[in-house]
């Protein structure tokens, strides 16, 4: 067990007892609506312009918006038609490709999908216009209630829409996440890892593809074999975002990674990555694209298994082209055992809530030698790896993540601080809190590469058995904010 100084505490992240978002109880609201024979209208996320938000619709178009229930759009709506897949939907007018790419990745993992979308939701028996979904938000699962009134213009959905007009799970899921974010416009722009973490309650590993690790292919292959989710993004570049390039890729756009496969061509093995565009259309036009000549040079079996010449947004490309055109790869998982390609040693995870308080526990970065010690301090003892886990003794054995918690409901109003953390080797001594002198004479054995104004920073480290101190901080001193620290360790960890 890890313990921490500085007022932090361990937290429970159980999916079995999710918090009621906005204090709305799904079962109570449903029973109330059924007993009164009325259809639910959510007063916490009302069907009006406030829930759409500013900046995504012109005022002239906003006046055309009509909120209607699915029964008013089609005669026989269904929550799900023939199962849930990434090919069910396409992106609407809000720039939430980061969110939809993450949904595309989630549809490949049924257990994770079942966490987000509770079963037995229909438009038939006991229907009262009420639905609910679950997301992991800053350390806790929350159950989010919505009504099924959806914004339309001229009878058509203006945000995410199903390719089958009778299927509504994508639009309702998007509405629930919009409620969590504050409005639909609060979903505009983001990174896939944010949604991946909110869908799983897991941890993530970020790989910079401009300088990929030598074992990138092994990492992706092991991640694909486990219940890990993968998504990536193309940088905006010199042109504006969402510009379709001559090669078919989209600037400033997020994609889901849906597969990896080695294919033999002319006696040579080629490493291929499969990607999916959340627009539901628009594909890569280079080597190994749907109409590439290379598909005629592989075995009929591989061609039948992999090639699908339909503009559904999904395509193959080589690992080299993947690293060339995409900026980063995010792998999100409940357990990072894919890092060493084995599930024989289960990594252990602990979560802690903490807070920097100006004038008290907000000491700033190490440049502030007189105040850095005031930051919350997490003391961790790492035991020697068990024999079954010690095969890769020199590999990374701990993942540390620092996530700052928002102080505002609306996502776009949140101003992230520059955050990071440092890890120090410490003597085996009963010190309650290390003073300023310790940090003047001791340098970190590991730390985040830089302080960034992101929701979350993380780092994989290799720490030998011993005692360590993890110190999360903001870059500047005297900045007040709450945070969530996640420690994932391959070895047994505890504190005296």
Give CA–CA dist 127/458, Å, rounded. Answer: 43
Closest CA to 307 of 322, 294, 290: 290
Q: Does the active-site annotation cover 494?
A: no
Catalytic entry in 96, 161, 204, 277: 277
CA-closest candidate to residue 428, choices 378, 395, 468? 468
> At a CB cut-off of 8 Å and minimum separation 6, what does 172 contact?
79, 131, 133, 146, 148, 150
253 is catalytic: yes
Exactly one of 253, 330, 333, 397 is catalytic; name it. Answer: 253
Rounded CA-CA distance 365/424 in Å is 14
The set of residues, in sequence order, having a beta carbon less than 8 Å from that of 328 and lying 6+ positions away, is: 206, 207, 208, 209, 232, 233
Report angle CA 47, 50, 56 to the nearest 5 degrees. 105
Distance CA(200)–CA(102), nearest Å, equals 11
Give me the sign of the Cα torsion angle 85, 87, 91, 96.
Answer: positive
To the query of whether residue 206 is one of the catalytic residues in this protein, the response is no
- Cβ partners under 8 Å of residue 198, min gap 6: 135, 136, 137, 177, 180
Q: Which residue is catalytic, options 97, 323, 333, 335?
A: 97
Report the candidate in 392, 395, 351 with the shortest Cα–Cα distance to residue 486.
Answer: 351
CB-CB contact of 470 with 420 (8 Å): no
Please, what is the Cα angle at 24 between 21 and 26, to 5 degrees?
Answer: 105
Q: How far, in Å, are 6, 371, 468, 493 from residue 434 at the CA level?
A: 11, 12, 12, 20
Q: Active-site residue numbers?
A: 97, 253, 277
């Amino acid at each position: 067990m890890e313990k921490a100084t500085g007022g932090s505490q361990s937290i429970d992240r159980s999916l079995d007892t999710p918090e009621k978002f906005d204090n709305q109880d799904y079962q109570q609201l449903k029973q109330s609506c059924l007993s009164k024979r009325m259809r639910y209208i959510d007063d916490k996320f009302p069907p009006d312009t406030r829930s759409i938000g500013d900046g995504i619709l012109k005022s002239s178009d906003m006046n055309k918006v009509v909120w209607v229930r699915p029964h008013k759009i089609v005669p026989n709506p269904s929550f799900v038609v023939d199962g849930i897949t990434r090919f069910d939907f396409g992106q609407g007018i809000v720039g939430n490709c980061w969110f939809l790419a993450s949904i595309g990745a989630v549809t490949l993992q049924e257990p994770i999908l079942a966490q987000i979308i509770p079963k037995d939701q229909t438009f038939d028996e006991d229907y009262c216009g009420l639905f609910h979904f679950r997301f992991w938000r800053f350390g806790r699962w929350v159950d989010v209630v919505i009504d099924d009134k959806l914004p339309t213009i001229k009878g058509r959905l203006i945000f995410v829409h199903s390719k089958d007009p009778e299927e509504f799970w994508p639009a309702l899921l998007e509405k629930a996440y919009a409620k969590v974010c504050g409005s639909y416009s609060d979903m505009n722009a983001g990174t896939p890892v944010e949604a991946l973490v909110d869908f799983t309650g897991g941890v993530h590993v970020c790989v910079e593809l401009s300088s990929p690790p030598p074992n990138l292919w092994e990492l992706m292959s092991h991640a694909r074999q486990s219940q890990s989710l993968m998504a990536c993004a193309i940088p905006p570049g010199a042109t504006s975002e969402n510009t379709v390039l001559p090669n078919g890729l989209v600037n400033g756009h997020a994609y889901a990674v849906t597969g990896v496969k080695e294919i033999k061509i002319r006696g040579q093995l080629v490493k291929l990555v499969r990607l999916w565009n959340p627009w539901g259309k628009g594909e890569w036009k280079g080597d190994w694209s749907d109409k590439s000549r290379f598909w005629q040079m592989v075995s009929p079996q591989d061609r039948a298994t992999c090639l699908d010449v339909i503009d559904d947004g999904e395509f193959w490309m080589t690992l080299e082209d993947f690293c060339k055109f995409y900026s980063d790869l995010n792998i999100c998982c409940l357990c990072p055992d894919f890092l060493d390609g084995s599930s024989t040693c289960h990594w252990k995870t602990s979560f802690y809530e903490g807070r920097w308080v100006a004038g008290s526990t907000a000491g700033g970065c190490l440049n502030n030698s007189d105040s850095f010690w005031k930051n919350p301090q997490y003391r961790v003892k790492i035991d020697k790896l068990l024999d079954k886990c010690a095969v890769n003794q020199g590999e990374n054995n701990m993942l540390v993540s620092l996530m700052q918690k928002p102080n505002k409901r609306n996502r776009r109003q949140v101003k992230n601080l520059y955050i990071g953390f440092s890890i120090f080797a410490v003597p085996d001594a009963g010190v309650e809190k290390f003073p300023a002198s310790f940090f003047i004479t001791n340098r970190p054995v590991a730390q985040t590469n830089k302080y960034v104004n992101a929701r979350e920073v993380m780092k994989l480290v290799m720490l030998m058995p011993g005692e360590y101190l993890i110190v999360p901080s903001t870059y500047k001193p005297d900045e007040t904010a709450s945070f969530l620290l996640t420690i994932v360790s391959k070895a047994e960890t505890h504190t005296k």
